A and B are shown apart, each in its own frame.
Chain A
Amino acid sequence: MATSETEVTGTDPYGNEMYKALYEEIMFDVGKLASIERSVLVLKPDVPMFIISVKMKAQQAAKTIGDIASTRAERKTVYISIVDETYAPGTLTALWKRYGRERVKQEDRLNIEVAGVEESAEVDVIPVESTEQPIREVIGALWRVMPEGIRNREVISGDNVITAVATEEIMRPEMLKEAQELHDRMVGEAEHV
């Protein structure tokens, strides 16, 4: 399942092993494991404090209609056939926003017609999700990995690295410092490569 490298350090050997499997399973479930290059999990249940730092393989690009659907133009109408169903609601919203509801006709869940458009290339470049969306999905997956009671959470992100630190009660400066150091190390590795 894993195509990325996952490193776990912590005070509980059993928990380390189980959380590595859990982390990879959840990332696989949300479809992000393939886009992760390296992950570092620091698990300190005795404190309790958990840090997960994720280095993505490449800058997450925004998806466009051309990426998730096949399009063809015919007699001033563009026919869109959505291939990746997860983007169906976003596609419809983006088309409504651009052309208005009168010109967009949804034949069924995955097939949409847009009237009054000459070329399919015009529709292909319409973004269906923001560049923030993949990062939000990774952060959401990290919250799923973290234990439920660990509610006080901070995220550091930038330079293709996302680092999340969480504790149960007060987020102490030394915890944030440890997370920042790990984040910087991951960013440094990325730049070095």
Chain B
Amino acid sequence: MTGWSGRRNMYEVIMYDGGIYRSDELFELIEDVGGVVLVKSRSAQMLTVTMSIPAEDRPAVEALCKEIGGQVKAVPLAGTEIAVVGPTLGRHHMPHPICDIAEYLRRCGAITVVMGLARGRGKLTSQINLEEVSVIDEYDACVFMLGNFKSCVEAKADLIRQLDVPTVLVCGPKPDGMDDACSAIVYGIGRKAARMREPADRAKLEEVGRRVEDVLQDKKEALSEDPLFVHPAEIKMLLENYEPLDMCLRPAPLVMHLDGLRAKIPYSEYHEAIENMEVYGRRLGDVCSITPSKINDSSMLIRIKTRSQVAYEDSLRAAKAAPAASAVGPVAEKSVKKKKTPAKKKKTA
């Protein structure tokens, strides 16, 4: 069995922030060193490129970035997709500080999605349904934003408890008895009617970023104990030239997760073609589980299996094939022997 695990610590994610001038040289260098562009966004003459490159080539890439007049920034959350969830999409809950948190996480390199629950409002009546839980669980991590009253925050612990994905709770007061409901708590950010511009607010945003980084680090460590069969960046490289994704007009048609990718093309139309692609001499469908997104059918989730999972499935397949082979074997042998030595047929029988 081949795979990526032996090289899993060799890639580093950095971001180029600069002009479009001579950026083609940067893209060529990334390709030459075997790196991959995770996110590229251009605004007028400015360009930001989040890239995953081999660690030993980082000095060369950094040198070129500086030479062409850009900056290199660390992006600790690159290659992740994070849901920032509020109780509702109403103006009471949504605009600030949820948008500020989402924006800050984007600056750290994550792809963020802001969402509100259908019936998340109220202390006594708030609820989360199974569909919402499934949608949030598709992401690498979730930042759940609650309000200013301690009793309300504690009453809404059940909303968070149902999520399987690592969750950072952001709320105003310090809640009691919520440690088991979420992976981390950042308190001091409640409901506000203004942007988080003050130095104290910025410090809180940085704290949210650090807590998200910590919970993702835990997830990364868990993954490194049983590494993925192939790195998501390699599947991204494989898929980004696939025509339906190449022609897709949605922003970021391929989004990397820690354990796979989200491909923003309809599952029903394209899943077979993607399953039949080849990576390290295997069908992609054998080393990944490809499922439609719970949001709708217009995107699909590609979850990469771990090496042990692939090995286990190989062993199952081998075990299944062995009795079949042993069952088929004597018959085949019989038929051969039948032609050559009819006398032995009787003996075998």
| B interface residues with partner A (beta carbon < 8 Å) | 87-88, 90-93, 121-126, 147-152, 172-173, 190-194
Q: Are B150 and A168 in contact (CB under 8 A)?
A: no
Given contacts A25-B194, A45-B149, 14 further A-B contacts (CB under 8 A): A14-B172, A15-B149, A15-B172, A18-B172, A18-B190, A22-B193, A48-B124, A144-B91, A147-B92, A147-B123, A147-B147, A147-B152, A149-B87, A168-B125
Q: Are B150 and A15 in contact (CB under 8 A)?
A: yes
Q: Are B149 and A149 in contact (CB under 8 A)?
A: no
A48 to B194, CA, bound (A): 25
Q: Are A15 and B148 in contact (CB under 8 A)?
A: yes
Which of A12, A26, A148, A169 sits near B173, CB closer than 8 Å?
Answer: A12
A-B pairs with beta carbons under 8 Å apart, 9 shown? A43-B149, A48-B152, A144-B91, A147-B122, A148-B93, A148-B121, A149-B125, A149-B126, A168-B123
Q: On chain A, which size bracket covers the interface?
A: 20 to 34
A26 to B92, CA, bound (A): 11
Which of A12, A14, A19, A168 sits near B122, CB closer than 8 Å?
Answer: A168
A46 to B149, CA, bound (A): 9
Contacts of A148 in B (CB 8 A): 87-88, 90, 92-93, 121-122
Chain B residue at minimum C-beta to C-beta distance from A43 = B149
Contacts of A12 in B (CB 8 A): 148-151, 173
Chain B residue at minimum C-beta to C-beta distance from A23 = B193
Interface of B is mostly: loop
Minimum Cβ distance to chain A for residue B87 (Å): 7
Minimum Cβ distance to chain A for residue B288 (Å): 41
Contacts of A18 in B (CB 8 A): 148, 172, 190-191
Q: Mark A43-54, 1 if CB is under 8 A from B, else 0.
A: 101101000000
What are the nearest 10 A-B pairs in CB distance?
A149-B122, A148-B92, A149-B121, A45-B149, A14-B173, A25-B193, A15-B149, A18-B148, A148-B121, A15-B148
A105 to B36, CA, bound (A): 61
Q: Are B123 and A149 in contact (CB under 8 A)?
A: yes
Chain A residue at minimum C-beta to C-beta distance from B120 = A149
Question: Does A191 sit within 8 A of B, measured CB to CB?
Answer: no
Question: Does A76 sit within 8 A of B, measured CB to CB?
Answer: no
Question: Does A151 sit within 8 A of B, measured CB to CB?
Answer: yes
Residue of B126, B191, B193 with most chain A CB atoms under a 10 A cut-off: B193
Q: Are B151 and A46 in contact (CB under 8 A)?
A: yes
Contacts of B124 in A (CB 8 A): 48, 168-169
A144 to B95, CA, bound (A): 13
A48 to B91, CA, bound (A): 20
Question: Does A110 sit within 8 A of B, measured CB to CB?
Answer: no
A6 to B172, CA, bound (A): 21
Question: Does A73 sit within 8 A of B, measured CB to CB?
Answer: no
Question: Does A150 sit within 8 A of B, measured CB to CB?
Answer: yes
Q: Are B193 and A45 in contact (CB under 8 A)?
A: no
Minimum Cβ distance to chain A for residue B77 (Å): 28
Question: Does A102 sit within 8 A of B, measured CB to CB?
Answer: no
Minimum Cβ distance to chain B for residue A47 (Å): 9
Q: Mark A99-110, 1 if CB is under 8 A from B, else 0.
A: 000000000000
Q: Are B122 and A151 in contact (CB under 8 A)?
A: yes
**Given the known A-B contacts A12-B149, A12-B151, A22-B191, are A45 and B92 also in contact in the complex, defined by CB atoms under 8 Å?**
no
Q: Are B150 and A22 in contact (CB under 8 A)?
A: no
Question: Does A189 sit within 8 A of B, measured CB to CB?
Answer: no
A120 to B161, CA, bound (A): 67
Question: Does A29 sit within 8 A of B, measured CB to CB?
Answer: yes
Q: Are A19 and B121 in contact (CB under 8 A)?
A: no
A25 to B95, CA, bound (A): 14
Minimum Cβ distance to chain B for residue A83 (Å): 27
Chain A residue at minimum C-beta to C-beta distance from B188 = A14
A139 to B287, CA, bound (A): 59
Contacts of A22 in B (CB 8 A): 148, 191-193
Contacts of B122 in A (CB 8 A): 147-151, 168
Minimum Cβ distance to chain A for residue B120 (Å): 8
A48 to B87, CA, bound (A): 17
Contacts of A45 in B (CB 8 A): 123, 149-152
Q: Mark A145-188, 1 if CB is under 8 A from B, else 0.
A: 00111110000000000000000110000000000000000000
Chain A residue at minimum C-beta to C-beta distance from B152 = A45
Q: Are B92 and A144 in contact (CB under 8 A)?
A: yes
Contacts of B192 in A (CB 8 A): 22, 25
A148 to B156, CA, bound (A): 14
Residue of B91, B123, B173, B192 with most chain A CB atoms under a 10 A cut-off: B123
